[in-house]
A and B are shown apart, each in its own frame.
Chain A
């Protein structure tokens, strides 16, 4: 009980710091209410508002908690991600959306102090079970990062990297086929087909990000995670990536973290709003953006915080 109270205290203090409210709560002020924005008190419930379930769930996170050392970064999050569906994770900086995303393919394993509790099921099997090899998991759940990170290799080798390490191609012509179709699907083939041997780093930022997407889909994953994939790109490159997501979601489940509400509205079927490690609200995108159920969500999407 004491621990929970302390947690909430921390929560309140953080909220106060993040929103620069003037009415800083006293140390003994312990209840479910969070000092809200512009002086309002807002309930930050333990229960997620809206609908965390969906019809054709492919990835299911149940009561997930993440700790970085003593820092409780994700608190009891339950969320389902459906097949052929784009789910957008939104929320202010530091709310845990990237952390949650990185749980879904166990990228948090690379951080020494990170600890994950709860269950995450991929197509019915627990990805945190002892039998699960994180390496095999990451081949099924690909990830695209915020900053384009092509390897300092040729464009061809960048895309061929995954198929090579997983032995997806029997011979060179098969590998050529995978590389070409991946670049094609990432909408990059036309621009680079005559210079596949040039280094991937020689491309523009938007092209590099599409190369990273091509590299990810070359492994033929089932889920693609995208961690603010457009935040380093200009609007034209962003539009291309968004179009690409529309096409890709016909085959893959996509989870995207974004800071842009417009982007979330454009590309996603469902939206999940995170706040200070809690999953506050999840619902269909049009519902959340037209009629948010939770005060915090409303404040965030109307631009009063964030």
Chain B
């Protein structure tokens, strides 16, 4: 039986178990009208039985599916003639793959002989047996669990507490997924980065001013030795982020102030969804808007003013990125302004402040921590942005503060380093992880500061 069929079957069992358990609990106290005699609501007894039916059986199913291939493979290998047993681990692995492919009817890379055919047959055989055994065990365990729970049902059974305990663990499990994923990402980046720092000294990476990651990937290739000074990348990132902030912070702030304090509810009702649409445009679309529309315009405008402007400039990328971030800044600022109690506004107006005095002297100072927190979140968004820069700012790692020149950013370099055929122990490839680690640390610090400021702000009025 397929495991999906089994899972489906367990689903049906659980529904049945729920109704049976509920009915049983009620019948113990003498009918639906007597539910008060039970410790918990009748439904909880139903859930209790259903959990006992599903949870052990499902655990067994998942465990089985995880270890099944290993056991079956080991059995098949042990059944092979001795000549195969002496193969090296790599060759044996290849052989097992071929056996598996043959068994499932896929293409096989070696000539098919008797032994191979036999092994494939026994593979299929073992698999079928394993599945039969699994189906029997799962259904048996479900029945056993159900029977156990059924016997435990008693008016004094604290079914609600037990069910809530299971729910609590389910919630803990769900929330730990994000935590463990984060830890996993950090560790994988960290180990690769450490490998990089064995090849390239950390001081050169952190303080070197030349970024030219072209190295020979294979020993017989011709290539430069490469240099891995990350300063130009971080300088480029900061330049573009700075331009983006220069655009998005004032515009976003003023948008939020207008929407929160000055606009009528009708204009607000129209403008807010429009801003949210701006936030919903994919960054790739912003990217070609930057490359095809804004960059040429910047170039023309710059040249007519007498500047020399590269066709791919930091300014174009930064401007478009700033526009992209406006909704983020304005909506976070809007939240911060709206979080200021109306009594502050009334108090200021009641003292004879104009709207703008109320805004600049009372509301904005009160909302400032929230606004700063929002801006920091926007900065980390800008630092992490890739597509716009790839398309509009180019790939040249110039160390410059001139916004009319082409620059590149950390994220863009990570992308270019990892695109195409790579060898995962060359410094060039590993450099991506070192950059990733640096970027992670920087954005983490910004996020921590931002969240800290926001949290502090929440405690301000009471």
Contact = CB atoms under 8 A, between A and B. Distances in A.
A165 interface: yes
Contacts of A142: 350-351
A212 interface: yes
Interface in B356-392: 357, 361-362, 365-366
Interface residues of A, number: 28
Contact of B366 (A140, A151, A215, A219): A151
B262 to A, nearest CB: 12
A300 interface: no
Contacts of A140: 352
B4 interface: no
A215 B462 CA distance: 19
Give the secondary structure class of B's interface: helix
A149 B352 contact: no
Most buried by B among A149, A153, A161: A149
A29 B352 CA distance: 47
Interface in B261-291: 264-265
A138 B347 contact: no
B8 interface: no
B59 interface: no
Given A149-B341, A161-B361, A216 B351 contact: yes
Contacts of B462: 201
A76 B388 CA distance: 63
B347 A219 contact: no
A270 to B, nearest CB: 23
A204 to B, nearest CB: 13
B361 A212 contact: no
Contact of A152 (B352, B357, B366): B366
Contacts of B366: 151-152
Contacts of B353: 135, 165
A271 interface: no
Interface string A104-117: 01010010100000
Interface residues of B, number: 23
A166 B460 CA distance: 27
Given A112-B265, A161-B361, A149 B351 contact: no
Given A151-B344, A152-B461, A165 B352 contact: yes
B354 interface: yes
Given A145-B343, A149-B343, A151-B344, A107 B361 contact: no
A138 B351 contact: yes
Contact of B348 (A137, A147, A151, A201): A151
Contacts of B343: 145, 147, 149
A136 interface: yes
Nearest to B347: A149
Contacts of A219: 351-352
A135 B350 CA distance: 8
Counting chain A CB atoms within 10 Å of each CB, which of B341, B347, B350, B351 scores highest? Answer: B350
A151 B347 contact: yes
Interface of B: 264-265, 341, 343-354, 357, 361-362, 365-366, 460-462
12 contacts: A135-B352, A135-B353, A138-B352, A139-B351, A145-B343, A149-B343, A161-B348, A161-B351, A162-B351, A165-B352, A166-B352, A216-B351
